[in-house]
Structure 1
Amino acid sequence: MSTTGPRALRLVEAGIDALGRLTLLLTLAMIGLVATNVLLRYAFSLGSVWSQELEWHLLAAIILLGMSHALQRGENVRVDLFYAGFGPRLKFAVDLISHGLLLLIALLFVKLSWAYVLQSYAIGETSADPGGIPMRWAVKGLIPLGYSLLALQTLAAMARTVLVERQRREAARA
């Protein structure tokens, strides 16, 4: 996250950064839950459907809420083998095109998942297993939320890319 640029851009990046810290806490909670479940299962022959389902609910939250933070931090997957050898103008073009494609995909996921979540909410979907977590729609609701955040961060990344390119060109002229 940078401390330069328009206020709206800084606010989006700060929000995504805070969300990244939240996913860190969710990850720590999930590690503790998995360790506890393993200990209870193998040492005491105890286990619960609810706690096992909570593991994958937390994993879904970590992935869907953390992907925008990963993009912000540049921890997304790219083919750096080629990218590293590109000049600044080609890197700029590749970044804008890849961000544009990611934005389209994120918005498509939001659009396609919305009806899925609403249907789950409307029928009051719960776990199919006895003792499982109720309100299955809540974890499904993370899909459009996570992809909306990814779309927002992608727009911020596009703006940041344009801002950096403008600064690079101005510095080259000076």
Structure 2
Amino acid sequence: MEALLKLSDGIDAFVSRIGKWAALLAVPLMLTIMYDVIQRKFGGQGSIKLQELEWHLHTGLFMLCFGFAYIRDAHVRIELIRDNLRPRTRAIIEMIGAIICILPFCALVLYFGFDFVLRSYENHEVSAATTGLTHRWVIKSTIPVGFGLLAMAGLSVFLKCYVFVFGPSNLRNRAGYYVGTHHADLGDAAAKLED
């Protein structure tokens, strides 16, 4: 079980490092949007290249940070229901979700995504707009990469939840943060698991 947590921690570190670097795309995204708005307001017209660059940066930011958000439990979920569940129940639901939803969906996107990018690269795909950006395969490549990172994050969360549910009590503190067992309620969570 200790090895599973170490593997999960290693995956977390890798996905988090990429997510933190990718989050820096927010800076050029904001600067591009500001420049585009100022150019349109005072220059009289916008630029198709700038508008496409905006959504390229936004897509890169979103796709490369998606796995990082999942590891940090910062993604959208129904907190009203989840917060009222016992930590063990949360962990079981998270494991089922990872196995039934996240990992199979990511596998499908990866399977079809690489072909999607390869066709774009081989066809030298460019923007449909005459003055748009070239090398469309670059932005399309963030789809399989992003879902690969999400699959890694899903595996990491699954491992942590597995150790939390089935592992020894001395590892529950390390594994349980994802299912809401913060430092204050770790004792309560361990007691509930014993029931």
TM-score range, shorter chain: 0.7 to 0.9
Report how many residues are paired: 169
- Distance in structure 2 (CA, Å) of the matches to 1:168 and 1:31: 46
Alpha-carbon displacement from aligned partner over 1:62-81 (angstroms, at most 9, x marks no partner): 11111101101101122221
Q: Which residue is equivalent to 1:61?
A: 60
> Which residue of structure 2 aligns with residue 71 of structure 1?
70
Match in the other structure for 1:37: 36
Q: Which runs of 5+ in 1 are unaligned?
A: none
Code of the residue aligned with 1:32 in structure 2: it is: L
Quick check: 1:130 aligned with 2:118?
no
Would you identify which runs of 4 or more consecutive aligned residues in structure 1 move more than 6 Å? Answer: none
3-state secondary structure, aligned to 2:24 = helix
Question: 1:97 is matched with which residue?
Answer: 96
How big is each residue's C-alpha offset from its partner over 1:93-138, in whole Å with a ceiling of 9 and x where there is no partner? 1010111111111111111222221111111101121221111011
Gaps of 5+ in 2: 172-189
Question: Identity of counterpart residues, as a percentage?
Answer: 27
3-state secondary structure, aligned to 2:25: helix
CA distance in 2, matches of 1:167, 1:63: 36
Listed as ranges, the matches of 1:1-174 within 5 Å are 5-6=5-6, 8-100=7-99, 101-165=101-165, 166-168=167-169
State how far apart, in whole Å, the 2-side matches of 1:152 and 1:46 are: 43
